C-alpha cells in the first residue's frame, strides 16, 4: 500500500504577514540610509565652513595673493600693517603697510557686505582690485538664504594699545572674531524660526588675536 506523506505549506495569512514584515524592514533600511546620507552631507558642509573660515582669517593675517599683482611686492595683511583703521563699528578694516613713496597708494580693505560675505578691496600702486570675495568660496543659495554667511558684523577690536608721547595710539594686538553659519536646507513651513536655526543650520565661532607690530591705530 502506498503511503501519502503530509505536505504542508504557508497559509495566506502567513504570506501576507511575511510580506508586511519584509516591507517594514525595507522602509526602516531606506530611512536609515537617507538619514545617514543627510547626516554625512551636513557634516561635510560643516567641515567646509570651518575650513573656509580659517582660511579667511589667515588671508586677513597674511594678505591676499593676486596673480600678476603681488608677485614682486609684499602682501598687505595684518602682519605687515603700519597703519590700522577700524571702521563701521568693526565691520571694516583698512590696512596700510610701510611705503617708501607716500604718493603711491598701497592698502588692503577687508569688509562684510550685506549678504554676510567677507570681501576685499586691494590697491598696489596702479593695480586696483575691488569686490574680491574671501569668504565663502561660492554663492550658492538655499531658498532665499546664502548657504554660507557671516552673521556677526563686529569682526575687529583693538585688544592691546598704548599711548605715544604725542598722544596718538599704537596697536600691537588686534582681536578678530568671526561667527559664521551654514544652512543645510530650507525652512519647513511648520517650523518656527528657532526650530529652523536649530535643525537646518550650524554655527561656528572663531576668535583669535594677531600681533601686528605696533601699528598706528585709528578707530573711525
Question: How confident is the model at residue 4, as a pLDDT?
Answer: 52
What is the mean predicted confidence (pLDDT) over 149-159?
83
The more confidently predicted of residues 7 and 58 is 58
What is the mean predicted confidence (pLDDT) over 194-207?
91
Provide the grid cell at 209: 588675536
Express each pLDDT in 56-99 by its tens digit. Answer: 989 988 888 877 666 666 678 888 888 888 888 888 899 888 77
Indicate whether 36 pLDDT > 60: no
| Cα(126)–Cα(66) distance, integer angstroms | 14
Query: Measured in whole angstroms, how far is the alpha carbon of residue 189 from the centre of its chain?
Result: 26
What is the mean predicted confidence (pLDDT) over 34-39?
58
What is the mean predicted confidence (pLDDT) over 12-29?
64
Indicate whether 144 pLDDT > 70: yes
- pTM for the complete prediction? 0.76
Question: How confident is the model at residue 135, as a pLDDT?
Answer: 94
Provide the grid cell at 156: 575687529
DSSP 88: G
pLDDT, the chain, mean? 80
pLDDT band at 119 (very low <50, low <70, confident <90, very high): very high
Express each pLDDT in 89-117 by its tens digit. Answer: 888 899 888 775 677 788 899 999 989 99
Neighbours of 72 (CB within 10 A): 7
User: Which of 208, 199, 211, 180 minimizes the C-alpha distance to 51?
Assistant: 180
Amino acid at each position: 500500500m502506498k503511503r501519502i506523506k503530509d505536505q504542508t505549506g504557508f497559509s495566506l495569512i502567513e504570506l501576507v504577514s511575511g510580506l508586511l514584515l519584509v516591507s517594514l524592514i525595507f522602509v526602516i533600511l531606506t530611512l536609515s540610509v537617507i538619514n545617514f546620507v543627510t547626516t554625512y552631507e551636513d557634516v561635510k558642509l560643516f567641515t567646509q565652513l570651518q575650513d573656509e573660515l580659517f582660511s579667511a582669517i589667515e588671508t586677513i593675517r597674511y594678505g591676499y595673493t593676486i596673480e600678476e599683482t603681488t608677485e614682486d611686492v609684499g602682501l598687505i595683511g595684518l602682519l605687515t600693517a603700519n597703519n590700522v583703521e577700524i571702521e563701521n563699528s568693526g565691520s571694516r578694516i583698512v590696512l596700510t603697510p610701510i611705503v617708501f613713496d607716500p604718493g603711491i597708494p598701497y592698502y588692503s580693505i577687508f569688509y562684510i557686505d550685506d549678504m554676510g560675505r567677507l570681501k576685499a578691496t586691494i590697491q598696489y600702486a596702479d593695480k586696483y582690485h575691488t569686490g574680491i570675495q574671501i569668504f565663502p568660496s561660492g554663492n550658492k543659495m538655499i531658498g532665499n538664504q546664502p548657504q554660507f554667511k557671516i552673521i556677526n558684523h563686529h569682526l575687529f577690536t583693538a585688544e592691546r594699545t598704548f599711548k605715544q608721547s604725542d598722544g596718538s595710539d599704537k596697536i600691537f594686538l588686534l582681536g578678530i572674531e568671526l561667527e559664521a553659519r551654514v544652512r543645510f536646507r530650507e525652512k519647513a513651513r511648520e517650523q518656527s524660526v528657532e526650530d529652523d536655526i536649530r535643525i537646518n543650520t550650524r554655527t561656528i565661532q572663531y576668535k583669535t588675536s594677531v600681533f601686528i607690530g605696533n601699528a598706528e591705530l585709528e578707530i573711525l
